[in-house]
């Protein structure tokens, strides 16, 4: 018996609805990086980690707004017309999900950046520290060395 086929795949129309919904809620580090590089207007990237994590490095241009401060501080810091992209440490952390929930409760359009800061670094994308910008090497298990995945 097939492990894959033990539960039949969804009907195509159901699959379209499911995958379109996922993309409405999630984005990835490569797409965020491309939009930031292109200067896409109306996009606010929010780092939801605590101060000690922020100090270790962050997405260039990100707003530091820990989850515990979003409800109180976001209305004064983030344009309500913006689309917010939240991130935290990585895929094993749900801080970005908590942050996205807080922004949604405030009425913002929001997406969660899959992979978080971990995959930003592992894909070799430049990150910011208090001492300047850092360009880490690409982890070949997460991204092709020297080019984008093209997905």
Alpha helices in the chain (DSSP H): 12-25, 29-38, 51-56, 67-77, 95-105, 116-122
Give pLDDT, residue 150: 63
Tell me: the pLDDT tens digits for 109-134? 999 999 999 999 999 999 999 999 99
Q: Could you tell me if residue 148 is inside a domain?
A: no
Burial label, 146 (beta-carbon count in 10 A; 0-12, 13-18, 19+): exposed
Instruction: Examine the pLDDT at 147 and tell me if it is beyond 90.
Output: no
Q: Could you tell me if residue 84 is inside a domain?
A: yes
Whole-model pTM over 0.85 = yes
More confident residue, 1 or 99: 99
- Count the domains in the chain: 1
Q: How many CA atoms lie within 13 A of 125 on its CB side?
A: 24
Q: Which domain holds residue 38?
A: 27-134
Q: Could you tell me if residue 53 is inside a domain?
A: yes
Cα separation values, 58 from 55, 62, 86, 121, Å: 8, 7, 12, 9
Give pLDDT, residue 97: 98
Q: Could you tell me if residue 38 is inside a domain?
A: yes
Task: Name residue 51's beta-bridge partners.
Answer: none
Q: Could you tell me if residue 76 is inside a domain?
A: yes
Burial label, 59 (beta-carbon count in 10 A; 0-12, 13-18, 19+): buried
Tokens 């539960």 label which residue?
7
Instruction: Assign residue 64 the CATH number of its domain.
Output: 3.40.250.10
Q: Could you tell me if residue 141 is inside a domain?
A: no
Cα separation values, 13 from 4, 24, 58, 136, Å: 20, 17, 39, 41
Q: Could you tell me if residue 143 is inside a domain?
A: no
Tell me: the pLDDT tens digits for 6-44? 999 999 999 999 999 999 999 999 999 999 999 999 999
Q: Could you tell me if residue 18 is inside a domain?
A: no
């Amino acid at each position: 018996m097939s492990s894959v086929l033990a539960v039949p795949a969804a009907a195509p129309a159901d699959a379209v609805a499911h995958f379109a919904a996922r993309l409405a809620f999630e984005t990835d580090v490569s797409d965020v990086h491309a939009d930031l590089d292109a200067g896409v207007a109306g996009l606010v990237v929010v780092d939801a980690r605590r101060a000690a994590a922020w100090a270790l490095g962050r997405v260039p241009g990100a707003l530091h707004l820990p989850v515990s401060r979003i409800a109180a501080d976001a209305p004064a810091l983030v344009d309500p017309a913006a689309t917010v992209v939240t991130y935290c440490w990585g895929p094993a952390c749900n801080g970005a999900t908590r942050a996205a929930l807080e922004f949604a409760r405030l009425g913002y359009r929001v997406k969660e950046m899959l992979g978080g800061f971990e995959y930003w670094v592992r894909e070799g994308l430049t990150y910011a520290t208090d001492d300047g910008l850092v360009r880490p090497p690409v982890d070949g298990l997460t991204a092709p060395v020297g080019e984008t995945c093209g997905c």
